[in-house]
Chains A and B, each alone.
Chain A
Amino acid sequence: MHIGSAKPSYAADEAIFTTGVQRAWVWALFAMLAAFPLFAGDYWVLIACLVAINIIAAAGLMVLTGFTGQVSLGHAAFMGVGAYAAAWLAAKGAPFWLTIPFAGFIAAAVGAVFGIPSLRVKGLYLALTTIAASFILHFIFFNWASVTGGAGGLNVEPAQIFGFRLVTSAHLYWLAAPLAVLSVWCATNLFRTRIGRAFIAIRDRDISAEVLGISLFRYKLMSFALASFYAGVAGAVWVYLFRVVTPESFRLIDSIFFVAAIIVGGLGSVRGAIFGAVFMTLVPELLKLGVATLEPYYPGVVQVLSPVRTIVFGALIVGFLIFEPLGLNETWRRIRHRFALWPFRT
């Protein structure tokens, strides 16, 4: 609740940003995003690209899991479908503005197929079918060698725009970051439409939703397809960033990463997907930095980096679910609430 923000119309009440200050902050954020590659080093721009890709994928999973209530442990596999689709089409000479949507649509089709079990099973059982989907897709990546290149995978030429090759991560940043903004914008607005509200109804009580006339068949598959579209687009950008995709690029653990990201961020809010993707991508980097600073004092500490990362990853999931089940989004809300009347006491 903000003081001094009267809402004279329904549209003003429904607006995403209700005050001028909020809008100013958003513009400031955009300005910062635009300026970021100008002053950040190559490595951090690469990390920023990864963050942007993970935001796209996490936003998609948030639509499916956070808003429709269908848990998917196959999200990374759908991302892999997108990466392979983009790589395959790019090898035929298609430009990136064709391959990226193509990857999205292929992933959406595959996602809808693997979403069919959601009509029969739900909750944990559905999570297990998506694990099966993840393994079956991994098997296909590995063995359909004529399309996927088998164990060696596929290489991709850099994306080109008007003859300019997007080679470095600073170039890719201009592809990944706007797409991330666009996907967040779409996801946010989705839940102000009829379809988005149907998703939320299904999450809250699927049987009641069906009684109200929401076709579970249609909307569950739509949610799967939409989430996989996001994953496919993220996978396509990913493949342009790393320029090679192998079956080992998208494993079950990567799917778990995305579920962990949206839990850490806070289920049921698109902002949570952003927080989660940023946080979960940056934590390993911070660990790496920490180890690098410790190295002079404790030689050999580098060897424990990978296990410590595994432990921290697991501990974050456990810790957030126990101590902050609503995720970083809730932390953010609490902090904002504290400052709502600042500097006056509440």
Chain B
Amino acid sequence: MNILDFIEFSLSGLSVGAIYALTGIGFVLVYKATRVINFAIGEFMMIGAYVFFGLAARATMPTWAAIAAALVVTALVGGLAERVVFRRLIGESAISVFMVTIGLSSVIIGVVEIIWTADPQSLPEFLPKAPFFIPTGFGEAFLPSKNGWGFIIAALTVTAIIVVFRYWRGGVALRATAADSQAAYSVGINVPGVFSFAWILGALTAAGAGILVGSIAGISSAMGAIGLSVLVVVIVGGLDSILGALVGGLLVGWLEAMASMTLGAEYKQLATFVVLLAMLLIKPYGLFGTHDIERL
């Protein structure tokens, strides 16, 4: 095995991992605030990618406007889903809510197929085309421009989200709600508002990640399957840990790249799920997740 190959595979794995991390953070925000395991996260990515596709490629809107519109539309869908569906399910068992998100993902897939058909499409190019050559001790490592820019954009967004949630009042409100929603209510935090906000933000980050994924790998009505990888990411990192989503995303992205390099592309998904199974058996709450204590 060539060491330069290893570095190149690692780089492209990490660039996918950064997008996983971004999506994972969207997932964690929703989970932290509302305790909903959002199986439909991949489908929210798909909404973002398809709305961008519809506006930029079919309706020939300028790229920046199409991206903004795609983010807004997906955020609205997220907010609507929270308001119409998930708010009614507060207090239901976690499994029921999980099944509802599965149902929701199915509905989204159907709607996308009706509007844009199930055929794979490619997104219009909007990132600079020059590939990256990263100097290393073993020669220059090649990284396709889409992956490189995907990594940069994802990393910037992730940093922004982390900073915002550390210092902004809304972030504090969200953390307070996550810690104890009753107590948060009693100190005057608008808890339903936090729920809506978390869903809107979660959908927003997913849409951004979806556009990045779509521009790297193309879009189809089956692209929501990437949500399964994101699920593995957040399990590895811990469902309620933003740091966990970050570390888990990079780790899973890198592992998938390593699996396809050493074993072949068909082992990619297998590797992901073996990691999931191992993680759940060894550390069910992930690397940084909070342990639940069960009382009778």
Contacts and interface: CB of A to CB of B under 8 A. Distances in A.
A136 B270 contact: yes
Contacts of A2: none
A314 B99 contact: no
A314 B274 contact: no
Interface in B194-235: 228, 231, 235
Interface residues of A, number: 42
Nearest to A69: B95
Nearest to A310: B110
B277 interface: yes
Given A120-B284, A307-B111, A132 B273 contact: yes
A44 interface: no
Interface string A127-170: 11101110110010011000000000000000000000000000
B105 interface: yes
Contacts of A259: 99
A322 interface: yes
B97 to A, nearest CB: 8
A226 interface: no
A324 to B, nearest CB: 12
B60 interface: no
A136 B274 contact: yes
B11 interface: no
Contacts of B284: 120-121, 125
Contacts of B270: 135-136, 139
A256 B273 CA distance: 18
A316 B277 contact: no
Interface string B101-137: 0111111111101100010000000000000000000
A205 interface: yes
Interface string A316-346: 1110011001000000000000000000000
B113 A307 contact: yes
Given A139-B270, A260-B103, A311-B111, A129 B276 contact: yes
A124 interface: yes
Interface stretch (B15-23, B45-53, B85-93, B245-253): B85-93
A243 interface: no
A321 B103 contact: yes
A191 interface: no
B37 interface: yes
B99 A321 contact: yes
Interface in A93-131: 117, 120-121, 123-125, 127-129, 131
Interface residues of B, number: 39
Given A124-B95, A314-B105, A132 B110 contact: no
Contacts of B85: 318, 322
Contact of B102 (A117, A311, A317): A317
Contacts of B114: 304, 307-308, 311
A129 B232 CA distance: 10
Nearest to B228: A131
A117 B284 CA distance: 10
A260 B274 CA distance: 26
Interface in A251-279: 256, 259-260, 263
A259 B69 CA distance: 36
Contacts of B98: 124, 127
B223 to A, nearest CB: 15
Contact of B89 (A117, A133, A304, A321): A321
A207 interface: yes
Contacts of A136: 270, 273-274, 277
B270 to A, nearest CB: 5
A12 B294 CA distance: 40
26 contacts: A117-B281, A121-B280, A124-B37, A125-B284, A129-B280, A131-B231, A133-B277, A135-B228, A142-B266, A307-B114, A308-B110, A311-B110, A311-B111, A312-B110, A313-B103, A313-B106, A314-B103, A314-B109, A317-B106, A318-B85, A321-B92, A322-B85, A322-B88, A322-B100, A325-B92, A325-B96
Given A129-B277, A307-B114, A310-B110, 11 more contacts: A120-B281, A125-B284, A128-B231, A310-B113, A311-B107, A314-B102, A314-B104, A314-B107, A315-B103, A318-B103, A325-B92
Give the 3 A-B CB pairs with smallest separation, nearest first: A314-B106, A317-B103, A311-B110
